[in-house]
A and B are shown apart, each in its own frame.
Chain A
Protein backbone atom coordinates (compact mmCIF):
# COMPACT_ATOMS: atom_id res chain seq x y z
CA UNK A 1 0.00 0.00 0.00
CA UNK A 2 1.28 3.45 -0.90
CA UNK A 3 2.04 5.62 2.12
CA UNK A 4 1.39 9.24 2.95
CA UNK A 5 3.47 11.63 5.05
CA UNK A 6 1.94 14.51 6.98
CA UNK A 7 3.23 16.91 9.64
CA UNK A 8 2.27 15.79 13.13
CA UNK A 9 0.67 19.08 14.07
CA UNK A 10 -0.19 22.54 12.77
CA UNK A 11 -1.60 25.70 14.26
CA UNK A 12 -3.89 28.26 12.73
CA UNK A 13 -5.69 31.40 13.73
CA UNK A 14 -9.44 31.59 13.50
CA UNK A 15 -10.82 32.96 10.22
CA UNK A 16 -7.48 32.53 8.43
CA UNK A 17 -6.85 30.02 5.64
CA UNK A 18 -5.13 26.75 6.49
CA UNK A 19 -3.03 24.67 4.12
CA UNK A 20 -2.49 21.09 5.25
CA UNK A 21 0.21 19.32 3.20
CA UNK A 22 0.51 15.65 2.34
CA UNK A 23 3.30 13.81 0.51
CA UNK A 24 2.58 10.57 -1.34
CA UNK A 25 5.57 9.98 -3.58
CA UNK A 26 4.74 6.28 -4.21
CA UNK A 27 1.18 6.91 -5.34
CA UNK A 28 0.00 4.68 -8.19
CA UNK A 29 -1.93 5.89 -11.21
CA UNK A 30 -5.23 4.53 -9.90
CA UNK A 31 -5.03 5.71 -6.28
CA UNK A 32 -7.53 8.32 -5.22
CA UNK A 33 -6.44 10.90 -2.63
CA UNK A 34 -8.90 11.11 0.24
CA UNK A 35 -9.03 13.41 3.24
CA UNK A 36 -10.90 12.67 6.46
CA UNK A 37 -10.98 14.48 9.76
CA UNK A 38 -11.64 13.20 13.25
CA UNK A 39 -12.89 15.12 16.24
CA UNK A 40 -12.03 13.75 19.71
CA UNK A 41 -13.90 10.55 20.62
CA UNK A 42 -15.76 10.49 17.32
CA UNK A 43 -15.49 8.51 14.11
CA UNK A 44 -13.69 10.09 11.17
CA UNK A 45 -15.68 12.26 8.78
CA UNK A 46 -15.15 12.43 5.01
CA UNK A 47 -13.86 15.81 3.83
CA UNK A 48 -12.92 15.58 0.16
CA UNK A 49 -11.27 13.38 -2.41
CA UNK A 50 -9.68 13.67 -5.86
CA UNK A 51 -7.72 11.84 -8.51
CA UNK A 52 -5.86 14.34 -10.70
CA UNK A 53 -7.70 17.65 -10.85
CA UNK A 54 -8.19 20.15 -8.05
CA UNK A 55 -11.51 19.76 -6.25
CA UNK A 56 -13.77 22.07 -4.28
CA UNK A 57 -16.70 21.33 -2.02
CA UNK A 58 -18.52 23.12 0.77
CA UNK A 59 -16.01 21.99 3.38
CA UNK A 60 -12.66 22.48 1.69
CA UNK A 61 -10.54 22.50 -1.45
CA UNK A 62 -8.02 19.91 -2.55
CA UNK A 63 -5.03 20.95 -4.60
CA UNK A 64 -3.18 18.07 -6.27
CA UNK A 65 0.33 18.49 -7.68
CA UNK A 66 0.77 17.83 -11.36
CA UNK A 67 2.93 14.75 -10.69
CA UNK A 68 0.42 13.64 -8.01
CA UNK A 69 3.21 13.09 -5.50
CA UNK A 70 1.77 15.63 -3.10
CA UNK A 71 -1.49 17.35 -2.29
CA UNK A 72 -2.78 20.11 -0.04
CA UNK A 73 -6.06 20.36 1.80
CA UNK A 74 -7.19 23.96 2.03
CA UNK A 75 -9.62 25.24 4.63
CA UNK A 76 -10.49 28.71 3.42
CA UNK A 77 -11.46 30.22 6.78
CA UNK A 78 -10.63 28.14 9.82
CA UNK A 79 -13.15 28.05 12.64
CA UNK A 80 -12.80 26.61 16.13
CA UNK A 81 -14.91 23.65 14.97
CA UNK A 82 -12.23 22.77 12.42
CA UNK A 83 -9.83 21.74 15.19
CA UNK A 84 -9.34 18.03 14.54
CA UNK A 85 -6.92 15.40 13.29
CA UNK A 86 -6.80 15.45 9.49
CA UNK A 87 -5.90 12.28 7.64
CA UNK A 88 -4.60 12.15 4.08
CA UNK A 89 -5.22 8.67 2.66
CA UNK A 90 -4.68 6.92 -0.63
CA UNK A 91 -7.61 4.72 -1.59
CA UNK A 92 -7.22 1.82 -3.94
CA UNK A 93 -9.68 1.68 -6.78
CA UNK A 94 -12.90 0.02 -5.60
CA UNK A 95 -12.86 -3.59 -6.63
CA UNK A 96 -9.21 -4.02 -5.76
CA UNK A 97 -9.12 -5.40 -2.22
CA UNK A 98 -12.36 -3.65 -1.40
CA UNK A 99 -11.07 -0.13 -1.75
CA UNK A 100 -9.98 -0.16 1.87
CA UNK A 101 -8.51 2.91 3.50
CA UNK A 102 -5.16 2.75 5.27
CA UNK A 103 -4.93 5.57 7.82
CA UNK A 104 -1.62 7.15 8.82
CA UNK A 105 -0.92 9.32 11.86
CA UNK A 106 -2.61 12.43 10.51
CA UNK A 107 -2.05 16.11 11.28
CA UNK A 108 -3.51 17.53 14.46
CA UNK A 109 -4.82 20.99 13.66
CA UNK A 110 -5.37 23.44 16.47
CA UNK A 111 -7.21 26.72 15.86
CA UNK A 112 -6.58 29.74 18.05
CA UNK A 113 -9.31 32.33 18.63
Chain B
Protein backbone atom coordinates (compact mmCIF):
# COMPACT_ATOMS: atom_id res chain seq x y z
CA UNK B 1 0.00 0.00 0.00
CA UNK B 2 1.16 3.54 -0.69
CA UNK B 3 1.96 5.82 2.17
CA UNK B 4 4.51 7.51 4.35
CA UNK B 5 6.70 5.63 6.79
CA UNK B 6 8.45 7.31 9.68
CA UNK B 7 10.99 5.61 11.89
CA UNK B 8 11.68 5.14 14.65
CA UNK B 9 8.32 5.64 16.33
CA UNK B 10 9.95 6.35 19.69
CA UNK B 11 13.48 7.59 20.25
CA UNK B 12 15.44 8.56 23.34
CA UNK B 13 18.52 10.71 23.13
CA UNK B 14 21.04 12.06 25.54
CA UNK B 15 21.75 15.75 25.57
CA UNK B 16 24.44 16.74 23.11
CA UNK B 17 23.75 13.91 20.67
CA UNK B 18 22.55 14.33 17.12
CA UNK B 19 19.71 12.08 15.99
CA UNK B 20 18.26 11.41 12.54
CA UNK B 21 14.58 10.69 11.92
CA UNK B 22 13.70 8.77 8.79
CA UNK B 23 10.82 9.59 6.42
CA UNK B 24 10.11 7.53 3.31
CA UNK B 25 7.17 7.82 0.89
CA UNK B 26 6.10 5.66 -2.04
CA UNK B 27 3.37 8.00 -3.28
CA UNK B 28 5.56 9.53 -6.00
CA UNK B 29 5.04 12.93 -4.41
CA UNK B 30 7.39 15.78 -5.23
CA UNK B 31 6.94 17.80 -2.04
CA UNK B 32 7.84 16.68 1.48
CA UNK B 33 7.58 18.45 4.83
CA UNK B 34 8.70 18.15 8.43
CA UNK B 35 6.59 19.48 11.28
CA UNK B 36 7.13 19.61 15.00
CA UNK B 37 4.30 19.34 17.54
CA UNK B 38 4.56 20.09 21.25
CA UNK B 39 1.94 18.88 23.76
CA UNK B 40 -1.37 20.68 23.34
CA UNK B 41 -0.03 22.76 20.45
CA UNK B 42 -0.53 22.90 16.72
CA UNK B 43 2.05 21.85 14.15
CA UNK B 44 5.01 24.07 13.31
CA UNK B 45 6.89 23.77 10.01
CA UNK B 46 10.59 22.95 10.28
CA UNK B 47 11.70 22.36 6.67
CA UNK B 48 10.07 21.56 3.36
CA UNK B 49 11.25 20.40 -0.05
CA UNK B 50 9.49 20.79 -3.39
CA UNK B 51 11.98 18.84 -5.46
CA UNK B 52 15.02 16.60 -5.13
CA UNK B 53 18.20 18.38 -4.03
CA UNK B 54 16.31 21.48 -2.93
CA UNK B 55 14.72 22.44 0.39
CA UNK B 56 13.65 25.57 2.27
CA UNK B 57 13.54 26.56 5.91
CA UNK B 58 10.20 26.71 7.65
CA UNK B 59 9.34 28.73 10.72
CA UNK B 60 11.56 26.87 13.24
CA UNK B 61 14.55 25.52 11.27
CA UNK B 62 17.24 26.43 13.82
CA UNK B 63 18.92 23.34 15.26
CA UNK B 64 17.65 21.07 12.49
CA UNK B 65 19.03 19.91 9.14
CA UNK B 66 17.57 17.96 6.23
CA UNK B 67 18.61 16.42 2.94
CA UNK B 68 16.66 15.43 -0.17
CA UNK B 69 18.93 13.20 -2.24
CA UNK B 70 16.09 10.96 -3.40
CA UNK B 71 12.48 11.74 -4.21
CA UNK B 72 11.27 9.10 -1.77
CA UNK B 73 13.32 10.16 1.24
CA UNK B 74 13.52 13.29 3.41
CA UNK B 75 15.46 12.58 6.62
CA UNK B 76 15.55 15.11 9.46
CA UNK B 77 18.55 15.49 11.75
CA UNK B 78 17.97 17.01 15.16
CA UNK B 79 21.31 18.46 16.14
CA UNK B 80 22.73 19.26 19.54
CA UNK B 81 22.13 22.92 18.71
CA UNK B 82 18.38 22.40 19.11
CA UNK B 83 17.76 23.63 22.66
CA UNK B 84 14.49 21.86 23.36
CA UNK B 85 14.21 18.87 21.02
CA UNK B 86 11.70 16.78 22.97
CA UNK B 87 8.61 16.73 20.75
CA UNK B 88 6.44 14.78 18.33
CA UNK B 89 7.82 15.00 14.79
CA UNK B 90 5.60 14.56 11.76
CA UNK B 91 6.60 14.06 8.15
CA UNK B 92 4.22 14.71 5.26
CA UNK B 93 4.20 14.70 1.48
CA UNK B 94 2.05 16.12 -1.30
CA UNK B 95 1.85 16.54 -5.04
CA UNK B 96 2.85 19.90 -6.43
CA UNK B 97 1.43 21.76 -9.37
CA UNK B 98 -1.82 23.46 -10.18
CA UNK B 99 -5.41 22.33 -10.53
CA UNK B 100 -6.78 19.67 -10.30
CA UNK B 101 -4.16 19.00 -7.61
CA UNK B 102 -5.96 19.11 -4.29
CA UNK B 103 -2.78 19.86 -2.44
CA UNK B 104 -3.71 17.25 0.13
CA UNK B 105 -0.94 16.45 2.57
CA UNK B 106 -0.41 12.85 3.59
CA UNK B 107 1.13 12.44 7.02
CA UNK B 108 3.18 9.69 8.58
CA UNK B 109 2.42 8.33 12.04
CA UNK B 110 5.08 10.45 13.68
CA UNK B 111 8.25 9.99 15.69
CA UNK B 112 8.29 10.87 19.37
CA UNK B 113 11.72 12.10 20.49
CA UNK B 114 12.60 12.38 24.17
CA UNK B 115 15.82 13.92 25.36
CA UNK B 116 16.99 12.50 28.68
Binding site for B on A (CB under 8 A): 32, 34, 36, 41-46, 49, 87, 91, 93-95, 97-106
Contact = CB atoms under 8 A, between A and B. Distances in A.
Contact of B42 (A41, A87, A93): A87
Given A41-B88, A41-B110, 4 more contacts: A46-B104, A99-B94, A100-B33, A102-B59
Instruction: Pick the most buried of B92, B95, B104: most chain A CB atoms within 10 A of its CB.
Output: B104
Given A87-B42, A98-B56, A43 B90 contact: yes
Interface residues of B, number: 33
Contact of B110 (A42, A87, A98): A42
A102 B45 contact: yes
Contacts of B41: 105
A3 B43 CA distance: 14
B94 A49 contact: no
Nearest to A87: B42
A94 B97 contact: yes
A106 B42 contact: yes
Instruction: Pick the most buried of A41, A43, A45, A103: most chain B CB atoms within 10 A of its CB.
Output: A43
B108 A43 contact: yes
